[in-house]
Structure 1
Amino acid sequence: MTSAPSLGRYAWLVVMLLWPVALLNYMDRQMMAAMKFSIMDDLPSIGSEANWGLLPAVFKWVYAFVSPFGGYLADRFSKRHVIVTSLFVWSAVTWATGHAQTFEQLVWSRALMGISEACYIPAALALITDYHNGPTRSRAIGTHQMAIYAGVMIGGFSGYAADSPSLGWRWAFDAAGIAGVLYALPLFFLLRNPPATGEAMVRPSPGRSLGELLGNRFFILLVLYFTLPALAGWVVRDWMPAILKDQFGIGQGHAGVSATLYVNLTALIAVVLGGVLADRWMKRTIRGRIYISAIGVGLIIPALFGVGNAATLGTAIAFLIVYGLGWGFFDCNNMPILCQIVRPELRATGYGLMNFVSISCGGFADWGFGIMRDQGIPLNLIFTAFAALCAISVGLVLAIRPKATV
């Protein structure tokens, strides 16, 4: 039998083993945004900004549709197997993306990427929460989410690789894909599902799982709260390199780094800080995580307004830093809040449903933003609307009445 101290050490090893996986998960996504102009120049069949916006949109729609199924597989069977298979497949698809020759092939690669990546986050976060109980849960999730921001930052530098005559955008996808395939093998042997408790776990059917979650009004509020800030979040992640390049006349590499480095470095620190503060506040009130998360979204509101109205690159970066601080506080507490309103056997499924709604809407936001850019709608109006949606979401999360953490 595994001793409690040994299990506690392995709980943190799980987070560390998943760190490179989360990094690759988001690096693979961010590279396309950072290398936009090189890809469009190389593949003229893309044609328009609306078509470019359709690429991340297709990824999100497929990702969203598959997420609940991926979450259910993780709850019903083995989180370990779901995670490793997801990593292997999306890494192979990343490699294949670097060999696309037409717009249609890019669309298919993003769709396949959506299928494979959709299974990772629900399973990974549920596995972490299985190992980490209330006192360390937000910190553990925050530590895992740090890898996401590291991946986005590294992906942002791929614009320089795309501009390099000796490398190019195809090389970046090749390298990232091979790295993920190679890491899947040791991960398979090192990652373990948690030991079974003495209690028999009731694993409901898909229909009962869906009915129980949708019948929980606090879960519905959390889904809406999770979705509204993410509309702006996906546009910031997918479009900001191009926005800064167009707005301030800088190079593709400079724009990619400016759009990703500072905001994600701040978010990387903020997810840990937000996790620590939330875990400490939970000692005083079971709403501690909700309060920290709401503060984070409160910071996002002025940040979005400022980015949309920035007159200089420095001002835009300053507001992106504020955005990163708020996003980190928000991001590290979504799964912990979910754990307070649904039972353990439904956590991955619940997070998959949250992803379904949030990311499918994010796909429309990406596509719609491209259409609005083609039509010349002012940037400040678009980002002011995003800020207003975030203000609504703060009220939604404060209406949640959580139970004690399990």
Structure 2
Amino acid sequence: MSLAEPASDSAPFFSSDSEAEGPDDQPAVQPEESASGVSKVRALLTVLILCYINLLNYMDRFTVAGVLPDIEHYFGIDDSKSGLLQTVFICSYMFLAPFFGYLGDRYNRKFIMSFGITFWSLVTLASSYTPKEHFWALLLTRGLVGVGEASYSTIAPTIIADLYVKGKRTNMLSVFYFAIPVGSGLGYIVGSQVSNVAKDWHWALRVTPGLGLIAVLLLLFVVQEPKRGAIEARPEHQLHQTSWLVDLQALSKNRSFVLSTFGFTAVAFVTGSLALWAPTFLFRAAVFAGERAPCLEAHCASSDSLIFGAITCVTGVLGVASGVQVSRQLRKRTPRADPLVCAAGLLLSAPFLYLAIVFAQASTIATYIFIFLGETFLSMNWAIVADILLYVVVPTRRSTAEALQIVVSHLLGDAGSPYLIGVVSDSLRKNDSFLWQFRSLQLSLLLCSFVAVVGGAFFLATALFIEQDRNRAENYVLTDDEPIVVPKSGRSTRVPVSSVLI
């Protein structure tokens, strides 16, 4: 089966603020729900299937975090080696993202995703059979899981972008990104509860592979590949493909894309650190306070993963929904609404995360309340950041842009943050007492609040350029020889390639 897509006929380009008229004053472009070549019902089913797969994606990613105390005890590893479990996964994920981004801009995205999900499901299943003498094998299989996830995360948002525009696109992206916190929370819940029932953490890793194979069948038999850019009246054959190096050069000059990517890097750093370490940190706090027995057996029974997972699910839904709604209302006053809401989310999350970490040993209830508030504000970014990328980048470069954002945000964010937190924790620990097991991890997690403030500053900087870069992307046409920026007046103006910021 070939991945190559056949060329398709499509309507001529016209400005997004005007409508081209055909004979007898009839619109020359099909209605929105059919312009992509996908029916309205099939488009909705596609979004729901992509949402389901995204949920599985994050369930699988954070199942390990839900049973981390069991894994540490089983393999006899310290905090730095525990942090490597997340780091090796993120590293393979981010380094392969550009490869799949390149493919996603040029070939059939449905088949690429199907291959990746099948691979990730099989490798996850294999990781559940790792013997205790071979911790390296668990690291290897967790790294290979990133191969499959890279093939999905770089491509799925671009399919939604080719099915919907403007307000509908934002709504569908919010549905898609609900799956991130909900799936993450389910990863903790399913991982910890399956481990509790089976009395063996290995079974926690055997849940998502079967669900992943169901996702592949849905992709192959229900999802239909949309035409790139047709929904925006900018079909891909009119925009033309440019070389990968030209794409990268153009994206590097897009200030809104670059700055929002650095802002999202801060989100990735904080969420990556909390995702792996929060349940273990809460468990150690309870042991230090005498509220829970230490982990001395093969199975470390704990309710912290369950509670943290439930909080992650709820705060994710509240955060994504409130972020989209606040942004929608603020857009009526300023076109800079999206980056301003992202900045507010990070800046407001910082003090609550700080208080959650500081209060951990004194009050469990206060800690959970502050975590709830901090994660809610942090989750306001997910759908909005994705929307920013899609409307400041032209359709033929979106998968590449997604891949580049994944590389940068993970390379400087959650690829290293879990390991960094573990290394700092080990370096601060004066002895192996319950006090210092808790205190060293507490001090290292304080880095999250500082990074959140830095991320907020990057989003504030994005607000300075967002309007200009969005207008450039919306009025951009690529001809055979050089790009044309079409202003809202409809008159075409040729400009040098080096001056076009896409």
TM-score (norm 1): 0.92
Q: Does the Cα contact within 8 Å between 1:75 and 1:347 map onto a contact in 2?
A: yes
Give 1:245's aligned residue: 283
Distance in 2, Cα, partners of 1:297 & 1:131: 30
**Offset, 1:225:** 0.8
Distance in 2, Cα, partners of 1:282 & 1:122: 27
Structure 2 unaligned regions, length at least 5: 1-28, 293-299, 430-439, 475-502
**Offset, 1:125:** 1.1
Distance in 2, Cα, partners of 1:155 & 1:184: 20
1:159-174 mapped onto 2 (5 Å cutoff): 159-164=192-197, 166=198, 168-174=200-206
Distance in 2, Cα, partners of 1:301 & 1:137: 29
Relative to its length, the structure with more helix (as a share) is: 1
Letter in 1 for 2:127: T
**Offset, 1:52:** 1.2
**Offset, 1:252:** 4.2
1:372-383 mapped onto 2 (5 Å cutoff): 372-376=424-428, 378-379=440-441, 381-383=443-445
Alignment: residue pair count: 403
Alignment pair present for 1:212 and 2:250? yes
Give 1:98's aligned residue: 128
1:172-191 mapped onto 2 (5 Å cutoff): 172-191=204-223
In structure 2, the CA distance between the partners of 1:279 and 1:133, relative to structure 1 (3 Å rule), is farther
Alignment pair present for 1:275 and 2:307? no
The superposition leaves residues 249-304 of structure 1 with CA deviations (integer Å, 9 ceiling, x where unpaired) of 24643010122211331112221232233234334432222222222112211122
1:139-178 mapped onto 2 (5 Å cutoff): 139-157=171-189, 158-164=191-197, 166=198, 168-178=200-210
**Offset, 1:379:** 4.6
Identity among equivalent pairs (%): 25
**Offset, 1:5:** 4.6
Which SS does the other structure have where 2:335 is aligned?
coil
Distance in 2, Cα, partners of 1:301 & 1:54: 25
Give 2:157's aligned residue: 125
Q: Which has the larger radius of gyration?
A: 2
Give 2:105's aligned residue: 75
Distance in 1, Cα, partners of 2:409 & 2:254: 18
Which SS does the other structure have where 2:397 is aligned?
helix
Which SS does the other structure have where 2:61 is aligned?
helix
The superposition leaves residues 331-383 of structure 1 with CA deviations (integer Å, 9 ceiling, x where unpaired) of 11111111232222212211211111111232211111111222236455434
Letter in 1 for 2:114: V
Letter in 2 for 1:323: G
Give 2:296's aligned residue: none
1:321-336 mapped onto 2 (5 Å cutoff): 321-336=372-387
Which SS does the other structure have where 1:131 is aligned?
coil
**Offset, 1:82:** 2.2
TM-score (norm 2): 0.76
**Offset, 1:8:** 4.0
Residue number among 193, 197, 201 corresponding to 2:225 in the alignment: 193
**Offset, 1:244:** 0.6
Distance in 1, Cα, partners of 2:32 & 2:269: 42
Distance in 1, Cα, partners of 2:97 & 2:207: 26
Which SS does the other structure have where 1:137 is aligned?
helix
Distance in 1, Cα, partners of 2:249 & 2:200: 49
Which SS does the other structure have where 1:180 is aligned?
helix
Give 1:291's aligned residue: 340
Letter in 2 for 1:354: Q
RMSD of Structure 2 on Structure 1 (CA): 2.1
Alignment pair present for 1:396 and 2:448? no
Which SS does the other structure have where 2:392 is aligned?
coil
Q: Which has the higher contact order (CA 8 A, sep 6+)?
A: 1
Q: Does the Cα contact within 8 Å between 1:88 and 1:180 map onto a contact in 2?
A: yes
Residue number among 315, 327, 334 corresponding to 1:266 in the alignment: 315
Letter in 1 for 2:110: R
Structure 1 unaligned regions, length at least 5: none
**Offset, 1:38:** 2.1
